[in-house]
Structure 1
């Protein structure tokens, strides 16, 4: 299988660096083709702007979506964007690895999504009609591919529990897993989250290493998160609200999953 690992940590000798190296070594030893996008090592440009395409803006002013679509359609994107899109096309599975900084991914990785997810490539695809609102949320360019988050955080697991002060980790990661991965069609696997990173010793690292190997060995057997598909009949179109008979009386992020 072809596996892409998108990695965002500025220190190669960090816990994240060690886990990344372990993942690449294990996958390679087991016959997989592995590509790594080490964003800090690549000095990835994180800001989406008019410099991301050749030529003049499509209109009188820069429009990120319209200019992105035009550049993608006419082969006018920057080479660094094209290379990452090609990696995504080849990948059967993608692992996004990052430390949780201020309740999200590092800015450099968010910039990877902003720039690589061009209009017409990752979004803005499919027809809109009375029964089908574009190819997204379970459909789209990445349908048939799998994705998983490998996340580290300094807080305790209890801090990210359903009653924890930081909020439930599933809700913190929801914009990434549901919005940035499920939206363009990925099958999203449960995340692997490592807590209290500042307290990890050799014994706990060995345990996390074993957990990571187990997750890598079951990438294609692990059931994905049960997000509801947009065009499967559960959402009203064009309102895109969940039908009243599903999860009646409930609201919030959890209604968009069947578990």
Structure 2
């Protein structure tokens, strides 16, 4: 089992830094090999100007080899840090992660299929706000809705199995005891990462969507929020 751990935080001594170290250690203790992409320390250029550049090819090879992709980042303005967005923009290229043709129909594979099918994808997210603010009725929206562009629009779109986000909140109130518990919780989560169920997004099939890629009226009738696109919603 091989994991690619993509980390986007400017400070190694931060809470994120402690969790990264604990998480990678936990995976290795459970038999995983781990390749770490430290976007800040590697000086990754996030600006998409040209496709097919040499540094992108190297990152695509690292991604191709992974059974598990972990993206760890602080939640900044309800999204990922710019350097991580840039990594996705540049590395998830057409023909590699998406716009991969179905060998039978020639149509591009997407939403449950694609160039990264068979990989599991886990986000580890830190936020300064309280847990309930990112819950089902929280003012910020449920974390799975906040991260919809990443979970559904990137992971699921390219064929990966998205897992529910591992969210750490109230990061300004973490003392030594809380940190120890957070590290333990993360280790437990990672120990079962191959067995936990994915988020059950609907595949883009004629059974679910019409030719405009809108849900049929018979699918999740009456629902107009994002949960309509989940079989477990």
TM-score w.r.t. structure 2 length? Answer: 0.95
Matched, 1:82 2:57: yes
How far apart are residue 48 of structure 1 and its match?
Answer: 0.4
Output one character per residue of 1:158-183: Cα deviation in whole Å (capped at 9) or x when no partner. Answer: 21122222122121011110001110
Matches within 5 A, 1:149-168: 149-168=123-142
Q: 1:182 aligns with which of 156, 181, 187?
A: 156
Cα distance in 2 for residues equivalent to 1:9 and 1:246? 40
Q: Secondary structure at the match of 1:34?
A: strand
Give the structure 2 partner of residue 117 of structure 1. 92
Output one character per residue of 1:221-249: Cα deviation in whole Å (capped at 9) or x when no partner. Answer: 0000010011362112x311111101112
Q: Secondary structure at the match of 1:233?
A: coil
Relative to structure 1, is the Cα distance of residues 115 and 25 closer, same or farther in structure 2, using a 3 angstrom cutoff?
same
Matched, 1:45 2:45: yes
Matches within 5 A, 1:1-259: 1-50=1-50, 68=51, 77-127=52-102, 134-231=108-205, 233-236=207-210, 238-259=211-232
8 Å contact from structure 2 (residues 128, 169) kept in 1 = yes
Q: Based on CA coordinates, which of the two structures has the bigger radius of gyration?
A: 1
Q: Secondary structure at the match of 1:4?
A: strand
Equivalent pairs, count: 232
- Deviating 4+ runs (over 3 angstroms): none
| Long gaps (5+) in structure 2 | none
Cα distance in 2 for residues equivalent to 1:79 and 1:127? 27
Q: Secondary structure at the match of 1:48?
A: coil
8 Å contact from structure 2 (residues 144, 164) kept in 1 = no
